[in-house]
Structure formats: C-alpha cells, structure tokens
Structure 1
Amino acid sequence: MLKKINLSKYLAYLFLIVLCLIWIIPVLFGITTSFRTEAEVVSSGFRLLPESWNFENYKAILENTSTAPILRWLFNSLFIAITHTFLVVVVISLTGYGYTRINFKGRDTLFFTLLGISFFPGVVNLIPSYKIIDALGWVNTAWAMIIPGLAGMGNIFLVRQFLKGIPTELDESARVDGASDFRIYYSVILPLIKPVLIVCGLFSFIGSWNDFLWPVIVYTDVDKMPVTAGLLLLQDIYGNYRMIGQLVGSAILAIIPTLVLFLFAQKHFLQSINLNSGLKG
C-alpha cells in the first residue's frame, strides 16, 4: 500500500529551497563577479561563472593602502565590534540583574518607561547623539561607535526575562552564606545566564559590524573608518572608473569575519535560541 503523500511537507520544502536560492544566487554572483575582468563585467551580462578566474581585483584592493585601506578598515571594524560586544555583555548582565534581583523604588516603572522610549526610531536620536559625541570629542574615534547602544533595552529585556525564570532561592542561599550582591551576580547568576548572553553578544557583534548610517556620520578620517563607511567611500573611488570587480571584491572581504563567526558560533547560537527558562512569567 502506497504511503499517503504529505503535500504540505513537500510544499514547505519547495518554499524553503526557493527562498534559499533567492538568498544564495546573488551572493554567488557577487563572489564570481569579483574574479572577473572589468571588460567581462560590463559586456557579459548575467553569467554565474566567469570566463576566466582573475585575481587582479583582489591584488589591487590589498595594494591600495592610501585611498582605500581595506585591511585597515577591517581591523577598525573588528576592534570596534569586539570591544562593543564585550561591554554590551557586561552592561546588560549587570542591568538585568539589577532589574530582577535588587528591589528599589520605581524599579518596574523605570524599566517599562525606558522600554517604551526604545520603540522610537533610532533616526530620531541621530542629531542629539552626534551633538553629544561632538561635545565629548569622540568624532573620528572608536568611542563614537563603541559607547552608544551599550544599554540596548532589547538585550536588557531578554536578560531580565531569562533571569525571572531562575529561582531566587539560589540567591538567598548564597546570601545566607555571606555572599554580597556582586558575589551572587558573578558566581551564581552569570554562569546561569550564559545562553542568553551568547545570543545578545552575537547580535551585538553583527549589529556593530553591519552598522552603516552612524559611522558614515561620525567618521571623516579615512584611516579611522570602519569597513561599512569605507565601502560607501569606495563607490566614489571605484564607481567613477567602473572598477566594479574591485568594489564587489571589497564587499566580499567585508563579510568574511561575520561568516567565520557564524561557522564557529552556530552551535552555541542554535542551542541558545531556546530561551524557555527565561520566558516564564
């Protein structure tokens, strides 16, 4: 007897395959375009594979250390993203602990007020944020990218919800043994909230690395730019001379760090997506 065909299952597979192709084909075409000569880029139209593999684009990109120092930009972005992510984890873990384990007047009112304010579009704060950064003397410095956004309410909300699923009896037992609030945070709470901190850390790193509008505003010094602001500059440098292969090659180099991060962290990321213990109540 033939098994009953599960039509919905096959339709779901078909939909996922089509969606996957929509995402993958442009990326593959971009990668192969970076290995084409400029003449082939202009004349060949859409061909997934180049007629001949040409490495001159990448050679020119890496040799240009004056008008478009791509390696310097990558280092700047890496330093900014790593430092920002580390500080985000520290700030949101301490803040989440304070909002769930320390009782003070107006605690919940303050939290939900800040959470409500965070729903305003970020573009509303661009001018005030720039004025503050300028007053502090942080324009054209890494601090302009590292400090803003450390206390993101979305991350704090996740940590707070996760902490609400951890029994307070653990804190009370440690307090009976003479532990201080910081000792409880460091020795008891921090190891237990590692899954949600991994999720927030990954999102913070990717968000910092991919941030585009803010670095374009606060950076004018070419050597200090992160790679996203540098790519905008490359559109003027390479676009005017129709160096499309070099422009696409620079963009490909810019995605390598996040790709490597995903390959090494996907196990932790997938395991950490299940935050059931932190979504109770």
Structure 2
Amino acid sequence: MPSAADQGRWAPDDLTTQATRWGQDLHGAGVDVDLAPVADVVPADLAAVNQPVAKWGRGFGSDPAAVSAHVAAAVTGLRAGGTGAAVKHFPGLGQVVGNTDVATGVTDDRTTRGDALLAPFAAGISAGTDMVMVSSARYSRIDPAQPAIWSEVVIRDMLRGDLGWHGVVVSDDLGVAAQVQSVPAGERAVRFLAAGGDVAVTVDPALADDMVSAIADRVGSDPAFAASVQESVVRVLDLKVEHRRAHCRPA
C-alpha cells in the first residue's frame, strides 16, 4: 500500500477504488475497523519539522480542500469494501512539531476552534466515517487546560457540537504514549470518557484491567459519569449492529 502522501497525488476517484480493495482485503482478514485515514493537514511551512504526520508520509497533503477530498474518498472506499473507517487525529496533528507517541508537552499553538484545517474532519464525517479519533496533543488556542483527549471543549463542544458528530469517539493511545504518562493508566481512561469519549485505546493490553477497574469504580460512585458511559455503550452497540457484530439494539 502506498503512503498517504503518495495517495494524495491520486485523483480522489482512484483512491476510492483502491480503498475499496483494501477494505475488502481487511474485511476478509477479519478486520472490522481500520483506524484511518489521517485527516491532519500539515501546512507547507511545517512539512520539514512535523514529526507525527509529515515525517512518515501519513497525510494527504497541505491543502485543506484536497485533503478533504481524499479523506472522503478513503472513507467511502473502506466502507464500500466492508471495513469501518476512523478519521484522525482530531482536531489535527498537522500543526505540531513533536510526536505524542514519544514526546511530552506536545502543543499546537496555531489551531483554533473554527480553523480552516478542520475541514477534512467534516468531510470524513459527511462521507460516513464510523469513528473519529481524538489526539493527545494540547491545543492552547482551544483548551489550554487539557490535552484534546481529556477536553470537553474539544470532544463535546467542538466535535459533537460544532461538527455535529454523534457517533463513536475513540482515543489515540492512552497506554504507552509519552504524552499521557504523567497520569495513572486508569485515570487516563476515566478522563477520556468523562470528556465525552467512547472507546479508550491502549496499545499495551497489560493496562486494560487497570483502566476497566478505574472506569467501574467511577461508574459506581458518580451517577452523571455512569449515564455518560451508558450513552457510550449505546453508540458502540449501534456501530456493532451496523457492521453486523451485534444483533440487537440496546433498550
């Protein structure tokens, strides 16, 4: 599979055709959701220094309109092939330098709540993405107090409010990413769900029990949190029904 940087040079219709084939291959291998495509726009002046996206050729380009077209094409193709899509990393890792996987204190001091570079996320939503993944970077011009994964401003106000996303919100890695290591593992998951997220992701499965226990403890002591988690359960089950991984909708 060519890099997203190479795919960004294709016509969107050609990308849809290829993504449909990839979606079919993934579906045939038993994969339900591909945590892609990357919807981050890396401005030309940051292309040489952007570590999480540009360095690895993970983005479709530097023009929001072109990236939007390619994000929509990728989402459409994956879904046509039977595999779900997850646009990421909201509200974008294109205007940072550091990589949250290996660096701490990664902060975007450019992106605003109404930023033009958010357009590819809206395009992915319009194309029918199954999930939206939220970044663990901090956005000083949106919510200087919290990284995006723990920010109600980012998840509830921007993503669900401004962009009208009512589906599943998934976190970037809450396990081994350097950006989140200052917070105990269980609390990382609790904070994400409290901010409006639905599926907490850890690339280290050994941390899953701590996360589940912390969530259960908070559910038992905080009715408002418990109600929010129940809403997340409904969203996840609805998605499973859509992909024929569950056979009844929750009451």
TM-score bracket for this pair, using the shorter chain length? under 0.3
Structure in which a larger fraction of residues adopt strand: 2
Tell me the TM-score normalised to structure 2 length: 0.24
Q: Identify which of structures 1 and 2 has the higher relative contact order when contacts are C-alpha pairs closer than 8 Å and 6+ apart.
A: 1
Structure in which a larger fraction of residues adopt helix: 1
- Is the radius of gyration larger for structure 1 or structure 2? 1
Tell me the TM-score normalised to structure 1 length: 0.22
